[in-house]
Amino acid sequence: MRGDFDWSEEYRHQCLVRYVIKMRRSDRKEALAFLNRWEQKHKNTKLEDDVRIQWSRGNRGVHNDWRLV
């Protein structure tokens, strides 16, 4: 049963971006290391770009926060 959860690829990506942002808030070096490991295993993803964009827009990893502008 899915309930009210959204398991789309886009939503999961947004959750991962928020996770990295939360990590960055507590330990920037660990967040960068995580991104490095992620990019080595998942080529051509936009995770790092989206983390940077969301951070610049003021997203600090709050649940369901996704900033379009």
Q: Splitting the chain (69 residues) into consecutive groups of 10 residues, what average pLDDT does each group show? A: 69 96 96 96 93 97 96
pTM score of the predicted model: 0.86
Please count the other Cβ atoms lying within 10 Å of the Cβ belonging to residue 54. 20
State the distance between the two ends of the chain, measured CA to CA, in whole angstroms: 34
Q: Which amino acid makes up residue 38? A: W
Per-residue DSSP letter, 8? -
* The predicted structure's pLDDT at residue 28: 95
